[in-house]
Structure 1
């Protein structure tokens, strides 16, 4: 079928400021036309009355565990979960075994043999082995398809190395994506510093451990602009504290290229969710206080936060079924992102649906310079998601398409059920 018309839907495309009833024509895997209802004619139509049509979601921060830890996840299973969550493009982090830090490892990951269900991109390691000492070959990796560079869970602590990374990536027009944690301040810590940690007898990570790295990195890009004339792009991963967000807000106001992402768990939960040592609520950055949760929500509403990213981090059951301090950090998140964003941000805090869609699609696509993603413009690939925006449902980890089930949201209420995900006009997920 070369032509398909989607009729009766409500189309939301922030890239074109469209938010209303529209019919959409898909031809040969691309968007061919968008018209007012009833104007498009064709033999093959699909009635999607009651559903929202949006650009396929883009996640700039996922862990797919392949190679090296395929007992947790594979590229195939992780991207199946992505499709179920409405994501049509995901960016894999480099903390695989071995670390993705060379052109050869990047090429291997992106090969069709990996059976990715959605568009797969990657940010290779900024330093060799993510050890924070010697930069990887940014230029060669960029030519091979890298959309940025990151050491992910291992922050680049040494000022000269981080400066070199920002400068080199800036000259290539690509971001350095930083996990903002001063690990010199968090040794032996397993959750947020505060009353809950005190009650549980656990060492806590202070908000300063995050904010100090953000502030340091901003000083570095300011210095690079003054001394080298290069607009380095700093991207702050999963920002979780009011103090770090305020530094980012100031940097944006000063005209610096600083972007950041927020994870759904940080705008939904606080450290109270840990309860009596629930390891499914253990992640890094940790769940914070209600004050910090509200700060993340405010930053999502006012535009300080550029996109929502899941930090999908699958772990096997036996790895989480241990003492809290020994359990690995991370939760799955691809299949709950839309449901939490609509429930918390749209329903509870009044965010316009179009803004939520932008945070999940248009904005992250722009952040990694994917001009044909996160949009339903005529000529773009027909990567799109259909969902029932007002449909309430309950998430069940037993039904996840991920290989792992480490989510704190089992049996949690959600809003907005995905009905279909299409890539190049072909259904990759459907109810």
Structure 2
């Protein structure tokens, strides 16, 4: 099978080049040039709009098995495709957790059948996502696991994390951490411990729950030689610890989520669960530090932490609702509109943070738009204005504070292995 994309505008050194054509044969990019004179089984005209490598998201929740009323592998991957993502990495806090080869194989079988984008499956660091018995890392890797994380909870015991990192270093795999020290969680916190939670009369969550566990873990990573990746960094203190760790030569990488770059506690209008996520929206100075960290390379990549919930679950107070918001379908357009268009972030840095950098960190062959690379491609409309609307979502969920926001950068089409898997309806 072959595909010819005509009139694609691509980025080189932060500048859109002249229009090029992209010729794809047998799932690979075969040629990138002006006015390619070849026939193809399928021809699609990009009409001068931005074409990038397919986006990569190393942090999504697909909810299957166990929570299919929130999301499924089918609906979650369709949502990813609509957002321009062609590779996603699915978290293991499902039921049952893929903490055995048997449980992992069941999930991989559904992915093989139902997924419309490439899905790499995380497995737990410990059985049952507790802080006690380690999973069999080698057996799980041999069965097709991607990396190890207890996302949703922090590993509470330093000894457990140390042993997990020892094994990960031997097997050349990655420990990916949701950092949260439960001993620093008080009174059922639901949002950042700052000024806004006091104004709303809601229990807060100290930033120390995150930064102190990062400080512990980077020293464990140094001692073991493991690659340690930190999920959804949210505080300025965490950025400082990561920056110092990198200066010390420790093999640590980190991600930031779009909502932490775009919002802070000041933006929370009231006691509404659409603004409840973990880690929470923190102070304005934290938001500033996150952007600075992304720009200077302290934070390596952007990941959505796409966390779908039902309308019923996210239709009330923060006290009674689960943590998390969706992000697969809105990440690129929000970041382009409110960071790139405002001059806070370059377009090339945004694209790199969503493509080449995650690919390099985790050893993916995807992430580049070049001859010989996998034909995973996204096209974005940087000129037309759209409104983020619930009824347009491919996800089963719409729990996000960004409904109603006006954006540019909607996805025109998405290609995986040379096949068009998503195409925007005509406006």
TM-score above 0.5, yes or no: yes
Given the alignment, which residue of 48, 51, 59 partners 1:50? 48
Q: Secondary structure at the match of 1:390?
A: coil
Given the alignment, which residue of 92, 95, 104 partners 1:97? 95
1:416 aligns with 2:412: no
Alignment gaps of 5+ in structure 1: 225-230
Given the alignment, which residue of 12, 16, 20 partners 2:17? 20
Distance 2:204 2:12 in 1: 41
Cα offset for 1:114? 4.3
Considering only aligned residues, what root-mean-square deviation do their CA atoms show, in Å?
Answer: 1.6
Q: Is 1:179–1:237's contact at 8 Å kept on the other side of the alignment?
A: yes
Partner of 1:168 in structure 2?
Answer: 167
Cα offset for 1:352? 2.1
Partner of 1:338 in structure 2?
Answer: 332
Q: Is 1:183–1:209's contact at 8 Å kept on the other side of the alignment?
A: yes
Cα offset for 1:243? 0.5
Distance 1:355 1:72 in 2: 32
Q: Deviations over 1:388-426 (max 9, x none)?
A: 223332111222111111111101122211100001111
Q: Secondary structure at the match of 1:325?
A: coil
- CA separation of 1:390 and 1:400: change in aligned 2, threshold 3 A: same
Q: Is 1:71–1:316's contact at 8 Å kept on the other side of the alignment?
A: yes
Q: Secondary structure at the match of 2:184?
A: coil
Q: Is 2:234–2:286's contact at 8 Å kept on the other side of the alignment?
A: yes
Q: Is 1:385–1:421's contact at 8 Å kept on the other side of the alignment?
A: yes
Q: Is 1:148–1:368's contact at 8 Å kept on the other side of the alignment?
A: no
Cα offset for 1:8? 1.7
1:284 aligns with 2:278: yes
TM-score (norm 2): 0.95
Q: Is 1:421–1:427's contact at 8 Å kept on the other side of the alignment?
A: yes
Cα offset for 1:113? 5.5
Given the alignment, which residue of 317, 320, 324 partners 2:318? 324
Distance 1:415 1:212 in 2: 38
Q: How does 1:204-215 map to 2 (within 5 A)?
A: 204-215=204-215
Alignment gaps of 5+ in structure 2: none
Partner of 2:65 in structure 1?
Answer: 67
Q: Is 2:272–2:316's contact at 8 Å kept on the other side of the alignment?
A: no
Cα offset for 1:13? 7.0
Q: Secondary structure at the match of 1:147?
A: coil
1:388 aligns with 2:381: yes
Given the alignment, which residue of 371, 385, 394 partners 1:378? 371
Distance 1:367 1:353 in 2: 20
Cα offset for 1:273? 3.0
Distance 2:265 2:98 in 1: 32
Cα offset for 1:103? 1.5
Q: Is 1:147–1:368's contact at 8 Å kept on the other side of the alignment?
A: no
Partner of 1:304 in structure 2?
Answer: 298
Distance 1:4 1:54 in 2: 16
Instruction: Using the TM superposition, name which of 72-81 and 408-417 deviates more.
Output: 408-417
